[in-house]
Amino acid sequence: MGTKNRSSGTQQNPRGAAQGVTLVAHESGLPIDSKVDSNGVRRLAVDSTATIENANITVDLDSESGDSVAIGNTGNSDKLYIHSDGSVTIRLKDASGAPFSVSNPLPVQIITSGGIDVNTKATEGDSVAVSGHPSQIFVEDEVDVTTNSYENILTFTAASDGTNISFVEVTGTVNAVVRMTLNGTTIRKMHCTGTQPNLQFPFPEPRTIGSGDILRVDVKADKVPPTGAMPGGANFFASLQGFIE
């Protein structure tokens, strides 16, 4: 009795528990696999290519059931690895492609309007580079006042924007009113006496002035000593401190 070749189509199963119709593959003549979906329905498992236009496709993934999505580099087989706690490790590189390290540190610029606390330990290799302001300002002058009208004892003209005034100090030998003006407007005024000859004008928040702004310190003596009582008249000393950003 001859043997027939297997071909695609249907195959009649004998009667019994698995009776029915089985689809067989064209190439192998073997039954086509089936899968059971989430609703318990058995469906055919086939490889196919489909073109779908203007369709919304929803894919439900469940990592606990073994579903996964691989994110990798198209140039090699590197894949993004997710740790068991859900975190990932990121490796940063500079413009030349070299990874950042102790010898090739990551450049960081911090811009803040408040203070920054940094805890360092030299025993652990920490280091901090400390530098002063780009340009410090210190101006001083000494003048003998000979009248009881306002006389200038210190004038400062800002040479550039970003000039900051942080401290002004005046010392006088007689009772006098000390006035500080900025571009002709009085911003501070105090009175020095024989028991309080030193006056300080601190700026906890440095006073920023622009290029061409003029800060003056003038004094007006309550009473100028008679000629000969104090050679040269009443003496005043003034100093100004600040910095340019």
Q: Look at the pTM and tell me if it is higher than 0.75.
A: no
Residue 200 lies inside a defined structural domain of this protein: yes
Residue 139 lies inside a defined structural domain of this protein: yes
pLDDT in tens, the chain (245 residues): 454 555 445 555 555 445 556 777 777 777 777 778 888 887 777 677 778 788 887 777 777 777 777 777 777 777 777 888 878 877 778 888 788 887 888 777 776 666 666 666 666 666 655 555 458 889 999 998 888 889 999 999 999 999 999 999 999 988 999 999 999 999 999 999 878 889 999 998 899 999 999 999 999 988 876 655 455 568 899 999 999 88
Structure confidence at residue 133 (pLDDT): 47
Sign of the torsion formed by the C-alpha atoms of 98, 101, 104 and 106: positive
Residue 3 lies inside a defined structural domain of this protein: no
Query: CATH number, domain at 203?
Result: 2.60.120.40
Structure confidence at residue 95 (pLDDT): 80
Range of the domain at 234: 135-244
Q: CB-hemisphere CA count at 13 Å for 70?
A: 6
* CA distances to 59, 71, 74, 83, 169 from 80, in Å: 20, 5, 12, 10, 63
Residue 33 lies inside a defined structural domain of this protein: no
Residue 13 lies inside a defined structural domain of this protein: no
Structure confidence at residue 1 (pLDDT): 47
Residue 172 lies inside a defined structural domain of this protein: yes
Residue 180 lies inside a defined structural domain of this protein: yes
Gap between the Cα atoms of 155 and 140, Å rounded:
9
Q: How many domains does the chain have?
A: 1
Residue 29 lies inside a defined structural domain of this protein: no
